[in-house]
Chain A
Amino acid sequence: MKSDQRKNSWVASLRSQARQLSQIAMLVCVGALRARRPKGELLRQLYQVGNRSLLFVLVTLGFTGMVLVFQSCLQLSRVTGDLSQVGGEFIKYLVHEFGPSLTAMMLATRVGAGIAAEIGSMVVTEQVDALRMCGVEPVEYLLVPRFLATLMMTLLLAVFGVLSAVMMGAFTAHQTFHVPYSVFLDLSKVRLTDVLTGCVKALSYGAAIPIVSGFCGLSTHGGSEGVGWATTRAVVSSSFAVIVLDFLISALALLSWQSM
C-alpha cells in the first residue's frame, strides 16, 4: 500500500517535471524565433559557450583521437597488418559519431553545469523573481540567448573537435605505426550521409543541453546547497540526454540507410 503511494507520487512528480520541461522547451523555441532580443547578450553567450570551451574541447578530443587511433592500429596490426584503411574509417566514424557526441559530452559538463550554476544562483538570490517583477519572462530573457549560442557553438566546436582528433590521430599513426600522413588523411570514405548524421546529432545535442540544464537551473530551491544540486542534476541529465539522443539518431540513421 505504502509503496504503491510512493510509486504514484513518483509518477506524478515525473509527469509534472516532464510538463515543465516541455513548457520551457516551447517557450525557448518560440522566443528563439522572435527577433526581439538584446544583441549584446547573444554575443556574450557565444563567447562564454564557444571561445571559453574551445581549448577544453580541443584537448579532450585530441587525446580521444590519439587513443582511438592507437587502439585500432594495435588491433588491426595484430589481425591483418594492413593499416592503410585505418585513417579513412577513423575519419568517417569521427564525423558521424565520436566527433559530435564526445564534443557534446564535454559541453554537457562545461556548458550545462555553467548554465545551471548561473541560473541557479540567480534563482536563490531572487534575481529571477526580480526579472519577473520587471515584467520580463525569465525563460525568454535568460535561456533564449544561451540556447541559440549553444546550438551554434556545438556545431562549430564539433568541427574543431573533429579537426583536433584527426590531427592528433594522424600524428599518433605516423609516430607509433609509421602510417604516412598522405595515407591516413583519406577523406574518400566520408559520405554525405555521414556529414548529415553528424550535423543532425550536433544540432540536437546543442538544443538539448541548454534546455535541460536551464530547466535544472530554474527549478533550483534552497541556498548554496540547492545550487550545487541543480548543477549536479544538469550535468547528469544533459550528459544522459546526449547518450540517449546519440543512440536514437544512430539507430534512425542505420535503419534509414538500410532501406535506401
Chain B
Amino acid sequence: MKKLHLDPSKPPVFDGISLRIAQGETCGLCGPGASGKSLLLKIICGLIRPEAGTVAVAGQDLGAASPSELRSIQSQIGYLFQNNALFDSMTVQENVAFPLRQRVRLGQEALDEPQILDRVSESLRGVGLATHAAKMPSQLSGGQRKRVALARAVVTRPPLLIYDEPTAGLDPVTTAKIYDLLRAEQKLTKSTTLIVSSDIDALRRFADRMLMVYRGTLCYDGPSADMDDSASPVVRQFVRGELEGPL
C-alpha cells in the first residue's frame, strides 16, 4: 500500500495543508494563478523542503531521508515539468533513456543496453514519436516536446506520476492527444497520478478526485463530479468561470 501524506505549512504560500493520496488514485489539482500549485508538486517530490511539516512518499519521510535516499525516492516518481525540462544537449532518444540509465547505475533495475533501447523506443512509439528519436529537442514543436517529456516521465514505469500543466499552450487537438496518452498510461500501469492543469474541464473528465488550492489552503477535496455543487462559493465560481464572486 503506497500512501502519500503531506502537511506543509510554508507561510506565506501554504498554511497547513494536510492531504493523503492513496495508491492508484487519479487526482487533479487546480487553483487560480500563483496559488502555488507547482510549488505543492515540488514539495511533494522533495525538490523543495517545507519550512515545517512532513511529506511522506510510499511511507518514507522525505524530510528525514539522506540525500542519496531522497534521490532514490525521487527516481521512482515520474515528473512531467511545466516547461518540459528536456536536456537540450541530448537527443530525444538519450533524453528518454536518461532516467533508465540512472536507475541501472543506482542498481534499482538490471537492464542491458539493448533492453534500455527497447524500452525507449516502446515509450516513444507510445507517444507517436518513434521516427524522431535522433532529433534534438530544439528541432521539435511545442507539442512534440511535451510528448517527449511525457515519454521520459513514464519510461521507468514509476508508481507515482506527476504532471505539471501537461497541456498548457497547446492547441485543442494536441491537448486531446495528450490526455489520451495520459489515460492509456494510467490504464496500463495503474500508477498513482497527480495532475495540475488550468484546463479544468479536461482535468475533471480525467481525474477521479479533485483538489483545489486557494490562498494557501486546500479549499476543495472530493470527487470530480461534486465540484459544481460545492458548498464553497470560491470553488463554484472557479469551476463555472464566472466573473462575479469572491475570487
Does chain A bind chain B?
yes
* Residue in A127, A135, A137 whose beta carbon sits within 8 Å of that of B87 in the complex: A127
* Residue in B72, B81, B103, B106 whose beta carbon sits within 8 Å of that of A130 in the complex: B81
Question: A132 in the interface, Cβ–Cβ < 8 Å?
Answer: yes
Cβ contacts under 8 Å, A12 to chain B: none
Question: B91 in the interface, Cβ–Cβ < 8 Å?
Answer: no
Q: Knowing A127-B87, A129-B47 touch, does A136 contact B81 (C-beta < 8 A)?
A: no
Q: Is the CB of B85 within 8 A of A134?
A: no
Q: Is the CB of A133 within 8 A of B79?
A: yes
CA distance A125 to B82 in the complex (A): 9
Q: Is the CB of A137 within 8 A of B85?
A: no
The residue in B81, B106, B108 that gathers the most chain A C-beta atoms within 10 A of its C-beta is B81
Q: Is the CB of A127 within 8 A of B85?
A: yes
Q: Knowing A125-B83, A126-B83, A127-B87 touch, does A133 contact B47 (C-beta < 8 A)?
A: yes
Q: Is the CB of A129 within 8 A of B42?
A: yes
Q: Is the CB of B102 within 8 A of A135?
A: yes
Cβ contacts under 8 Å, A133 to chain B: 45, 47, 74-75, 77, 79, 99
Q: Is the CB of A136 within 8 A of B85?
A: no
Q: Is the CB of A134 within 8 A of B102?
A: yes
Could you give, for residues 85-123 of chain B, a 1 whenever the CB lies within 8 Å of some chain A CB and a 0 otherwise? 111100000000011001101101000000000000000
Cβ contacts under 8 Å, A136 to chain B: 71, 102
Could you give, for residues 117-150 of chain A, a 1 whenever the CB lies within 8 Å of some chain B CB and a 0 otherwise? 0000000011101111111110000000000000
Q: Is the CB of A135 within 8 A of B47?
A: no
Q: Is the CB of B71 within 8 A of A135?
A: yes
Cβ contacts under 8 Å, A36 to chain B: 105
Interface residues on B, range: 20 to 34
Question: B12 in the interface, Cβ–Cβ < 8 Å?
Answer: no
Shortest CB-to-CB span from B131 to chain A, Å, is 24
CA distance A151 to B106 in the complex (A): 28
Shortest CB-to-CB span from A8 to chain B, Å, is 19
Question: B245 in the interface, Cβ–Cβ < 8 Å?
Answer: no
Which residues of B from 1 to 59 have beta carbons under 8 Å from A? 42, 45, 47
Q: Knowing A127-B85, A127-B87 touch, does A137 contact B74 (C-beta < 8 A)?
A: no
Shortest CB-to-CB span from A28 to chain B, Å, is 14
CA distance A132 to B42 in the complex (A): 11
Q: Which chain A residue shows the least CB distance to B74?
A: A133
* Residue in A127, A129, A135, A137 whose beta carbon sits within 8 Å of that of B103 in the complex: A135
CA distance A129 to B98 in the complex (A): 14
Q: Knowing A125-B83, A130-B87, A132-B74 touch, does A137 contact B45 (C-beta < 8 A)?
A: no
Q: Is the CB of A132 within 8 A of B71?
A: yes
CA distance A159 to B88 in the complex (A): 34
Q: Is the CB of A130 within 8 A of B71?
A: no
Question: B67 in the interface, Cβ–Cβ < 8 Å?
Answer: yes
Q: Is the CB of A126 within 8 A of B81?
A: yes
Shortest CB-to-CB span from B23 to chain A, Å, is 20
Please list 29 pairs of residues, one from A and one from B, whose beta carbons are closer than 8 Å in the complex, sorted by A's number.
Answer: A36-B105, A125-B83, A125-B88, A126-B83, A126-B85, A127-B86, A127-B87, A127-B88, A129-B47, A129-B85, A130-B79, A131-B87, A132-B47, A132-B71, A132-B74, A133-B45, A133-B77, A133-B99, A134-B74, A134-B75, A134-B102, A135-B71, A135-B74, A135-B99, A135-B103, A135-B106, A136-B71, A137-B67, A137-B71
Enumerate the 10 nearest inter-chain pairs by beta-carbon distance, A residue then B residue, closest first. Answer: A135-B75, A126-B85, A130-B85, A134-B99, A126-B81, A135-B71, A133-B79, A134-B102, A127-B85, A135-B102
- A residues near B, CB below 8 A? 36, 125-127, 129-137
Give me 19 other A-B pairs in contact (C-beta within 8 A), A131-B87, A133-B47, A135-B72 excluded: A125-B83, A126-B82, A126-B83, A127-B85, A127-B88, A129-B79, A129-B81, A130-B85, A132-B47, A133-B74, A133-B75, A133-B77, A133-B99, A134-B75, A134-B98, A134-B102, A135-B74, A135-B99, A136-B102
